[in-house]
Amino acid sequence: MSPAQNFLGIATSPNGGTHRTYLNPALAAELPHRIFLHVGAGNLHVNNNYVRYQAPFSLFTLFTGNVPDQYRRNTGNVRFEPDYTTEILDGNPKNATIWGDLRGPALQMRLGETGGTFTLSSRLRGVGQVTGASEQLLSALRSSLNASALFSIPSRDNRFTVNTNAYAELAASYANTLVDLDGIRVSGGITAKYLRGYSAGSFVNRGLDYQLEAGTGLNPNPSLVVTRVNADLAYTTFLQNRRLGARTLFSPNAPGSGFGLDVGLSATIQAEDSDSKLELGLALTDLGGMRYTGEIYDVNGQSIRFQATDFNTANAGSFEQIATVIRNRLGILEDVTPSTFRVGLPTSLNLTADYQVGERAGLSVVYLQNLKAADAPSVRQPSLLSVVPRFETRLVGLAIPLTYINRSVLVGMALKAGPVRIGSDNLLGLLGSRQNGFRPRGTDVYAGVMLGIRTMRNDE
């Protein structure tokens, strides 16, 4: 939900402004500008370790609406065939994350020479995530239960979680130097967040036994027979038949609210009269959680039969629809009395190191470690390690994020042109297709407009 402290091609730059604050609030103490204005930025990220994309057209072609007619139906809609993805069958538990992150208007300013740095920021986040699912179960669902190789083979004690969360965030941050010795500055920072939640869902499965049955007759209908299930299910219905527009965002009836906190430390090491410096950072981000009003169910049952039609797009197009299918098959009555449930934030430990060579070149290393338990009702920040070399002037810049995440290596690129930033932490995910031989496991793209005003050097 990744969650998502990424934008690695922007956040690792000393001129990243409010994006650095999301990574570690203490880094704002080294803000090189008097004022940093953030107009807005958006990020779409998809990553998994279960399937690879191998369509004859790239995701970039798909997103921009330039798919050739030969891959479209008569209606003009893109035809997406089953062989456009291929499974990764390596025996490992499967994880998948999709998130959208809209970072809204923000203002960051220095409060005099020694008053520190103050930041106001806004954000809208939406995350869907599957953690720890088995290959066998996913293969069965992917084939609409028609995986003959899996028929009549019992599968026991499957454990996995599914979590979704969509919420807005208003935050205030403060950072300042705590210790200033010869050549070393130690800074601290804190961010307090007010959270407004619009949708959440959590399915924490602590044990699932099942097997596939082929069915009988002239038109056999395969089924998934659950012989035991033990899970917790909670979800909201506020966004059903609603668009996430301004009226919804400011609705007093939004079902969730909560608070979050980021805390961080940084140390800057710079010799006197040297243009090079080393900056180290440590932060805990997204501490806290939200409380939602919705429906809660204790899912326990035996001898439950699911048909392939239960999982088609008409019945399983959203978390709420899937939850309704599960509830109906189990014979659980609808929870007509509103209940409250808590979901956590994607808490992570963030370690950073940045070596600035002169005024234009630098190298950053970022390590993000998920701190949420596997069975927690919460989206997670996928753990990752990234190395980001960069070259940047006041007007233009280039960064190349090289990231290890979910057992794969991603190559990205981010460009700066005046106040505009555009990039991807997974460039091959955007461009890969069957035609060029790259078979990505996800994609990532971001863009934004931001501007630093009155550099500290120019004011001196």
Please, what is the average pLDDT of the chain?
A: 89
Which has the minimum average pLDDT: 37-41, 68-72, 174-178, 244-248? 244-248
223's CB contacts (< 8 A; 6+ apart) are 145, 212, 213, 215, 305, 306, 307, 308
Compute the distance between CA of residue 358 and CA of residue 274 in angstroms, rounded to an integer.
8
For 251, list phi and psi in degrees, rounded to 5.
Answer: -70, 135
**Domain assignment of residue 165, yes or no:** yes
Q: Can you give the pLDDT at residue 142?
A: 81
Dihedrals phi, psi of 54, to nearest 5 degrees: -140, 40
HSE, CB side, 13 Å, CA atoms: give it for residue 72: 11
Residue 155 lies in a domain: yes
| Average pLDDT estimate for 216-232 | 79
Whether residue 2 is contained in a domain is answered as no
Determine the pLDDT at residue 457.
52
Question: Which tens digit of pLDDT belongs to each residue from 260-299?
Answer: 999 999 999 998 788 899 999 999 999 999 999 999 998 8
Confidence of residue 149 (pLDDT cuts 50, 70, 90): low
Structural domain range at position 19: 8-459
- In-domain check, residue 1: no
Q: Which of 229-243, 330-344, 391-405 has the lowest mean pLDDT?
A: 330-344
Distance (Å, rounded) from C-alpha 387 to C-alpha 340? 42
| pLDDT for res 148 | 63
Torsion of CA 356, 362, 363, 365, to 10 degrees: 60
Please give the structure tokens belonging to residue 127: 């995350």
Q: Is pLDDT above 60 for 220?
A: yes
266 is a domain residue: yes
* 300 touches 294 (CB < 8 A): no
* Higher-pLDDT residue of 279, 148: 279
**Cα 166-172-177 angle, rounded to 5 deg:** 135
User: CA-CA-CA-CA torsion for 222, 225, 230, 236, nearest 10 degrees?
Assistant: 40
Confidence of residue 458 (pLDDT cuts 50, 70, 90): very low
Q: What Rg value do the Cα atoms of the chain yield, rounded?
A: 24
What value does the mean pLDDT take over residues 121-129? 96
Return the exposure string of 157-170: e unless at least 16 CB atoms fall within 10 Å of the residue's CB, then b: ebbbbbbbbbbbbe
Phi, psi at 320, each rounded to 5°: -60, -40
| 151 against 392, higher pLDDT | 392
Q: Given a cut of 90, is residue 15 above it in pLDDT?
A: yes
- For residue 83 the two structure tokens come to 């062989």
Strand partners, 86: 52
Q: What is the DSSP letter of 218?
A: S
State residue 219's pLDDT score: 64
Rounded to whole angstroms, how far apart are CA atoms 209 and 156? 4
pTM for this prediction:
0.90
pLDDT over 60 at 460, yes or no = no
Report the CATH number at residue 48: 2.40.160
Looking at residue 259, its pLDDT comes to: 98
What is the percent of the chain with per-residue pLDDT over 70, rounded to a whole number? Answer: 93
Q: How far is CA 120 from CA 11, 107, 188, in A?
A: 17, 5, 17
How many domains does one find in the chain?
1
Residues 6+ away with beta carbon under 8 Å from 254: 196, 197, 198, 238, 248
Chain segment 344-402, per-residue pLDDT in tens? 999 999 999 999 998 899 999 999 999 999 889 999 999 999 999 999 999 999 999 99
Whether 73 is covered by a domain: the verdict is yes
Which pLDDT score, from 0 to 100, does residue 2 have?
39
Lowest-pLDDT range, 93-97, 217-221, 423-427? 217-221
Q: What region does 133 belong to: left with phi over 0, alpha with psi -120 to 50, or beta? A: beta
Say whether 414 sits in a helix, a strand or coil: strand
How far apart are alpha carbons 411 and 427 in whole angstroms? 6
Q: What is the token pair recorded at 27?
A: 């880094």
pLDDT at 43 exceeding the cut of 60: yes
Report which DSSP code applies to 333: P
Q: How far apart are the C-alpha atoms of 63 and 447, rounded to whole Å? A: 15
Lowest average pLDDT, out of 65-79, 180-194, 231-245, 376-390, goes to: 231-245
- Whether 403 has a pLDDT exceeding 90, the answer reads yes
271 token code pair: 């010799």
pLDDT at 139: 85
Contacts of residue 314, Cβ cutoff 8 Å, sequence gap at least 6 = none
Angle at 252 between CA 246 and CA 258, to 5 degrees: 100
DSSP string, 74-86: TTSPBP--GGGEE
User: How far is CA 106 from its chain centroid?
Assistant: 21
Residue type, 308: A
Q: What is the C-alpha to C-alpha distance for residues 275 and 181, in angstroms, rounded to an integer?
A: 17
89 vs 191: CA distance, rounded Å: 42
Tokens of 272: 């006197």
192 domain residue, yes or no:
yes
pLDDT at residue 150, as a whole number: 65
Q: Kindly tell me if the per-residue pLDDT of 154 is higher than 80.
A: no
pLDDT at 315: 57
The reply to whether 256 falls in a domain is yes
